Structure 1
Amino acid sequence: MNGFLAALALSFAVIFVAELGDKSQLMALTFATRFRPVPVLIGITVATALVHLVSVGIGYGLGATLPTGWISLIAGLAFLVFGAWTLRGDKLTDDEKNKAERTTGSAVLAVGGAFFLAELGDKTMLATITLATQHGWFGTWLGSTLGMVAADALAILVGRLLGRHLPERVIRFGAAALFAIFGIWLIVEAIIKLG
């Protein structure tokens, strides 16, 4: 049990600190200005749990790596599309707005998919792989997942507070800019990895 608690605590602390200021924390803030916090947090949690499960599997059992260059390239292009889509904006009728606020499935899928792609090959994934090579897989998985979700929950809180005080146009342009930055960032990472 001591090994489990040590892996849990160490993984939580390392990933929480690594996530502060990371692009996925900024993504959480951006999504929180567009969706309700609970679906955003659910999407982040599911994506993080899956990515970190893969990470500990690699680190603990296989010692292999994923082709992160191509994944970063695809994710980068997807983020550019998300940015353009956000910039274009959508107009909802009152009825559609009420339905969107009640519907959490689409937000969970959007956030979860974006986070899953963004986290593959990210520093938190690599840190989790490294931690899993030296500590138990379950404690590392649970600690790294909780550490990332806790850091991103802070970003969601900040995003919700900003969303109440900023005009919709500022939020739309800011979100589009952040998606474009994430996309370019991932494409540059992909070029470096593939080059």
Structure 2
Amino acid sequence: MDAFLTSTAVVAIAEMGDKTQLLSLLLAAKFRNKSAIVLGILVATLLNHAASAWLGAWLVGFVSSSVGHWLLAGSFILVGLWLLVPDKEEAIGSRFDQYGAFVVSLVLFFLAEIGDKTQVATVLLAAEFQSVVWVTAGTTLGMLAANVPVVYLGARLMEKIPFQLTRWLAAALFILMGVLALL
């Protein structure tokens, strides 16, 4: 249960102000069918994070426990530092709009998550907890917790969230997890 709760909290906080949250805002502005957007985000996140969690759990088997301990702790600290760097907003073309809200959301969200901080966090969390199912469930719930309100409440919500503060909080959380792993 620790894997689920930690994964949910870590990804929900790390996702604040992330490019995929901005993508959610853009998709909500483009499409009327909000539930199709949310379903696209859900499926894309499940696919991406399940593969990431599996990779994290698999990698643990190839690294000795003492080396793995240092790599894991250092990785959490590095991701914490990475979170301090704001994401760049990427332009999203409208050439795929004809495929509808679900397909566009699924494809764009899946692609945006590749190499993203939350994907790296999912790999690290799975390596830490060695639980593909609970980490995938937790990171997916965290992703939805951060993005679904943006889809439904849009710009009004984005104006009220202090992204600088949430980015610092997420960075501190990852660095703390790295320090705790060292201890």
TM-score category, normalised to shorter length: 0.5 to 0.7
Q: Distance in 2 between matches of 1:16 and 1:115?
A: 16
Classify the secondary structure of the residue corresponding to 1:31.
helix
Q: Give the corresponding residue for 1:76.
A: none
Are 1:13 and 2:5 counterparts? no
Q: Distance in 1 between matches of 2:142 and 2:52?
A: 15
Maintained 8 Å contact 2:25/2:154 = yes
User: Of the candidates 19, 22, 26, which is equivalent to residue 22 of structure 2?
Assistant: 26
The 1:141–1:19 alpha-carbon spacing in structure 2 relative to 1, beyond 3 Å, is: same
Q: Distance in 1 between matches of 2:119 and 2:132?
A: 13
Q: Runs of 4 or more off by more than 3 Å in structure 1?
A: none
TM-score between the two structures when normalised by the length of structure 1 = 0.59
Q: Which runs of 5+ in 1 are unaligned?
A: 65-78, 91-99, 163-195
Maintained 8 Å contact 1:9/1:143 = yes
Q: Which runs of 5+ in 2 are unaligned?
A: 63-89, 158-183
Q: Which has the higher helix share?
A: 1
User: Of the candidates 45, 50, 69, which is equivalent to residue 53 of structure 1?
Assistant: 50
Letter paired with 1:109: V
Are 1:113 and 2:113 counterparts? no
Partner deviation per Cα, 1:8-65 (whole Å, 9 max, x = no partner): 000000000000110100110110112121000000000000000111011001369x
- What percent identity do the matched residue pairs reach? 39
Classify the secondary structure of the residue corresponding to 2:151.
helix
User: Aligned-pair distance for 1:134?
Assistant: 1.1
User: For this pair of structures, how many residues does the alignment match?
Assistant: 126
Structure 1 vs Structure 2 CA RMSD: 2.3
Maintained 8 Å contact 2:59/2:127 = no
Maintained 8 Å contact 1:33/1:160 = no
User: Of the candidates 98, 119, 141, which is equivalent to residue 136 of structure 2?
Assistant: 141
Q: Give the corresponding residue for 1:132.
A: 126
Maintained 8 Å contact 1:128/1:141 = yes
Q: Distance in 2 between matches of 1:152 and 1:43?
A: 11
User: Aligned-pair distance for 1:160?
Assistant: 7.6
